[in-house]
């Protein structure tokens, strides 16, 4: 993974984060967020994965159902955010739409993915921080704009 600060103004920073074949996308994003001290940011990305694990949140069971993707797939869209989690550390929340070789789309919450050949991420940091709080109804840590 390589990164470059490409813009900075009035407390807002924008980075390009580029991953190479073999990089694990979520662990790279988490490491980057820690290294630059992100507390509120949005991210978008395109590229491709050798394999991935997506997930679907089942409201009835309040748990994630795994969606394995064991083939090369294009990252048609990856969007997400960074906020401070209940543990005080940067938390990445990302959703992705993957395109298969037939043109079919698979979408869900991004749990892990192995990059091949690249993942190009633009991270836009806000000058304010966001914090996640545990939501008793869903059982998830959700952004609380008031905290």
pLDDT category at 147 given cuts 50, 70, 90 is confident
The average pLDDT across 83-104 equals 95
Q: Is the pLDDT assigned to residue 45 strictly greater than 80?
A: yes
d(CA 54, CA 67): 5
Q: What is the pTM of this model?
A: 0.90
Q: Is the pLDDT of residue 39 over 80?
A: yes
**Percent of the chain, pLDDT > 70?**
100
Neighbours of 45 (CB within 10 A): 23
Q: How sure is the predictor about 16, in pLDDT bands with cuts at 50, 70 and 90?
A: very high
**The pairing of beta strand 12-20 with beta strand 105-125:** antiparallel
Average pLDDT of the chain?
95
What mean pLDDT comes out for the span 28-35?
97
Helices and strands per DSSP (H, E), number in the chain: 1, 9
């Amino acid at each position: 993974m390589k990164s470059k600060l490409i813009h900075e103004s009035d407390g807002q920073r924008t980075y390009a984060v580029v991953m190479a074949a073999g990089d694990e996308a979520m662990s790279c994003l988490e490491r980057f967020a820690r290294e630059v001290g992100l507390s509120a940011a949005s991210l978008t990305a395109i590229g491709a994965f050798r394999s991935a694990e997506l997930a679907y949140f089942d409201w009835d069971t309040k748990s994630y159902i795994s969606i394995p993707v064991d083939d090369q797939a294009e990252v048609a869209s990856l969007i997400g955010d960074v906020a401070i989690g209940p543990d005080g550390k940067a938390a990445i929340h990302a959703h992705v739409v993957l395109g298969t070789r037939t043109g079919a789309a698979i979408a869900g919450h991004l749990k892990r993915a192995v990059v091949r050949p690249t993942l190009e991420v633009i991270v836009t940091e806000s000058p304010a921080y966001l914090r996640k709080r545990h939501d008793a109804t869903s059982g998830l840590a959700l952004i609380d704009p008031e905290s």
